[in-house]
């Protein structure tokens, strides 16, 4: 009986001691609940978001896309502290038992970053689009997605330089009773690089940082994985916050403004080489009348002599006439010169809409600027012009249609720009009419891959009979020897180009 009374008194004294230590704010109170050694929180800066700068009304934002995302965080570096101690400057206890405290390091468990990237890209896109900017890849474009991505004029790279996160699962300061709420405070620092893929130069580099806190109904003792999941969600949203902070910088706003459309078409198209069709006299607006005039204009191309020598005896000149087209979005395709003054044929899906500026790279390695001056999306052909060019190596366009079993060769830059000048041979398999467009198409068994698009299909003497447009792909992603080409005469017809024989 005396022994029981002594034990009861000791229990009362222990509770009183715990209460006194807790109210005094001493960390010794934690030792009663757990260990005297606990995980310390990060010193995370408090950052207030700024106000986005206004977008000038007379300009339109430049289309951009985020194409690179790097994690510049060393493997093994601590990024999350499920810490002990107290919540901020209060008496609320965080994770009182050392057993439930943790130091989470980068590269372990769920913290590797790559699985978050698709959601982070979506967050970047939606954040800036909501603020009035133009990030390509909008979900409203369900079909022909490649055309949507091809609009991008600037590529954006994001380097995640720092992630720090404190997780405090809260307990009452009197008796250590769980409050069933976890505070997660996360800080992220991002370096942004804006890159002109066409001219291969960095346009702007900015660094932003953001801190945010949110509370969730999670008890860390019961659900440590739940805290990890919430931190991942926080990383995604903080990436969007950092994207929003870009709009606080005048340099970013200035870069994003495409400015008024240039009207230098006359510098790219030479009027003396065109034959004009009658304008629609019902068009009253002078601007509309000029646009109609350009649209109805027939461009006359000065052809070169027909090749009468076998391709193997004239392969160097043929390869010199075929170019790699480097699109603003970082992609590439092929094309070929049809007039020594710098007129080039390619695909619409390679070069883009009328007015798009691209780089063309010749087999010698020389690069020149070109502009799309005529494009036909449905037929998937485009006519480009190199301003001020002369005496460029050119291919002859054969007006006679290629026939089944005729020997043909496909030229271009398959898969990679470094593969420029690749030649593959085959025969014309058949001539078809496409069901969806009712346009003629040449089917041949030449090996053609992505990157060949826009390149020429030539006969045994090197004269052009078609333009590569697409290839059938098997279930495993392999080409299955059914390459399709646009007849050269139909391409010229759709583009309203008159080919003048020499």
Q: How, if at all, do strands 407-412 and 357-361 pair?
A: unpaired
* Residues of the chain above pLDDT 70, percent: 77
Q: Say yes or no to pLDDT of 341 above 70.
A: yes
| pLDDT for the residue numbered 85 | 86
- The alpha carbon of residue 362 and the mean position of all alpha carbons in its chain are separated, in whole angstroms, by 26
Could you tell me the pLDDT band of residue 473, with boundaries at 50, 70 and 90?
Answer: low
Q: What is the mean pLDDT of residues 443-462?
A: 92
Token pair for 336: 């070929």
Phi, psi (rounded to 5 degrees) for 270:
-100, 115
Could you tell me the pLDDT band of residue 428, with boundaries at 50, 70 and 90?
Answer: very high
| pLDDT for the residue numbered 244 | 95
Summarize pLDDT for 98-138 with one digit per residue, the tens.
767 888 888 776 566 777 888 999 999 999 999 999 998 87
| pLDDT for the residue numbered 12 | 38
| pLDDT for the residue numbered 455 | 95
What DSSP designation does 127 have?
H
Sign of the dihedral through C-alpha 388, 389, 390, 396: negative
Task: Say how far apart CA 380 and CA 377 lie, in whole Å.
Answer: 5
**10 vs 380: which has the higher pLDDT:** 380
Please name the helix (run of DSSP H) or strand (run of DSSP E) that holds residue 374, with its range, or none: strand 367-376
| pLDDT for the residue numbered 7 | 41
Largest CA distance in the chain: 123
Q: What is the mean pLDDT of residues 34-50?
A: 77
198-212, 283-297, 397-411 — which one is most confidently predicted on average? 397-411
- The alpha carbon of residue 254 and the mean position of all alpha carbons in its chain are separated, in whole angstroms, by 21
**347 vs 4: which has the higher pLDDT:** 347
287 Cβ contact partners less than 8 Å away, ≥ 6 residues apart:
none
| CB-based contact 43:115 (threshold 8 Å) | no
Q: Say yes or no to pLDDT of 322 above 70.
A: yes
| pLDDT for the residue numbered 488 | 95
Phi, psi (rounded to 5 degrees) for 24:
-75, -10
| pLDDT for the residue numbered 163 | 92
Could you tell me the pLDDT band of residue 484, with boundaries at 50, 70 and 90?
Answer: very high
- Could you identify the residue written with the tokens 């403004």? 257
Q: Say yes or no to pLDDT of 383 above 60.
A: yes
Domain boundaries, the chain: 1-32, 34-256, 286-500
**395 vs 24: which has the higher pLDDT:** 395
| pLDDT for the residue numbered 497 | 92
**Cα-atom radius of gyration of the chain, to the nearest Å?**
33
Summarize pLDDT for 141-180 with one digit per residue, the tens.
666 666 677 778 889 999 999 999 988 888 887 777 888 8
Token pair for 407: 């020997």
Q: Say yes or no to pLDDT of 26 above 50.
A: no
Q: Say yes or no to pLDDT of 397 above 80.
A: yes
Beta bridge partners of 135: 64
Q: What is the mean pLDDT of the chain?
A: 80
Total residues found in the chain within this entry: 502
Q: What is the mean pLDDT of residues 441-451?
A: 91
Helix, coil or strand: residue 286: helix
Q: Say yes or no to pLDDT of 446 above 70.
A: yes
| pLDDT for the residue numbered 312 | 87
Phi, psi (rounded to 5 degrees) for 140:
-70, -20
**422 vs 415: which has the higher pLDDT:** 422
| CB-based contact 136:62 (threshold 8 Å) | no
Token pair for 134: 């133009």
Topology of the domain comprising 286-500: Thrombin, subunit H (2.40.10)
| pLDDT for the residue numbered 178 | 82
Query: Which of 227, 424, 202, 407 is closest to 334 using CA atoms?
Result: 424
Q: Say yes or no to pLDDT of 39 above 90.
A: no
94-98, 299-303, 384-388, 404-408 — which one is most confidently predicted on average? 404-408
Q: Say yes or no to pLDDT of 248 above 50.
A: yes
């Amino acid at each position: 009986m005396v022994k029981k009374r002594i034990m009861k008194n000791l229990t009362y004294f222990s509770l009183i001691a715990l209460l006194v230590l807790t109210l005094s704010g001493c960390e010794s109170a934690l030792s009663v609940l757990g260990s005297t050694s606990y995980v310390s929180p990060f010193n995370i800066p408090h950052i207030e978001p700024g106000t986005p700068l206004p977008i000038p009304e007379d300009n339109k934002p430049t289309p951009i896309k985020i194409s690179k995302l790097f994690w510049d965080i060393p493997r093994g570096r601590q990024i999350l502290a499920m810490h002990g101690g107290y919540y901020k400057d209060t008496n609320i206890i965080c994770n009182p038992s050392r057993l439930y405290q943790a130091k989470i390091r980068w590269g372990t468990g769920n913290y590797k970053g790559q699985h978050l990237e698709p959601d982070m890209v979506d967050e970047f896109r939606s954040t800036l689009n909501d603020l009035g900017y133009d990030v390509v890849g909008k979900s409203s474009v369900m079909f022909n997605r490649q055309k949507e991505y091809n609009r991008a004029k600037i590529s954006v790279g994001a380097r995640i330089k720092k992630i720090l996160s404190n997780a405090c699962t809260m307990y009452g300061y009197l008796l250590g009773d769980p409050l069933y709420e976890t505070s997660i405070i996360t800080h992220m620092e991002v370096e942004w690089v804006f890159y002109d893929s066409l001219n291969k130069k960095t346009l702007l580099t900015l660094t932003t940082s953001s801190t945010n806190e949110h509370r969730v109904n999670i008890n860390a003792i019961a659900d440590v994985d739940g805290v990890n999941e919430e931190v991942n969600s926080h990383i995604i949203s903080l990436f969007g916050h950092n994207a929003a902070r870009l709009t606080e910088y005048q340099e970013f706003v200035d870069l994003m403004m495409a400015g008024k459309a240039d009207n230098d078409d006359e510098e790219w198209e030479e009027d003396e080489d065109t034959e004009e069709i009658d304008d629609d006299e019902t068009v009253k607006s002078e601007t509309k009348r000029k646009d109609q005039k350009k649209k109805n204009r027939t461009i006359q191309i000065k052809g070169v002599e027909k090749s009468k020598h076998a391709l193997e005896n004239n392969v160097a000149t043929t390869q010199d006439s075929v170019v790699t087209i480097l699109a603003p979005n970082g992609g590439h395709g092929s094309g070929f010169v049809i007039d020594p003054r710098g007129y080039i044929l390619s695909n619409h899906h390679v070069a883009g809409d009328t007015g798009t500026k691209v780089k063309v790279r010749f087999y010698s390695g020389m690069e020149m600027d070109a502009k799309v001056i005529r494009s036909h999306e449905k037929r998937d052909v485009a006519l480009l012009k190199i301003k001020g060019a002369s005496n460029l190596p050119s291919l002859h366009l054969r007006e006679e249609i290629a026939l089944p079993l005729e020997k043909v060769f496909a030229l271009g830059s398959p898969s990679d720009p470094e593969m420029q000048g690749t030649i593959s041979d085959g025969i014309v398999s058949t001539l078809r009419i496409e069901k969806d467009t009712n346009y003629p198409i040449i089917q041949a068994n030449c090996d053609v891959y992505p990157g060949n698009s826009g390149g020429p299909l030539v006969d045994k003497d090197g004269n052009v009979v078609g333009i590569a447009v697409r290839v059938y792909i098997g279930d495993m992603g392999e080409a299955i020897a059914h390459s399709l080409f646009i007849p050269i005469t139909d391409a010229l017809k759709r583009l309203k180009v008159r080919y003048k024989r020499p």
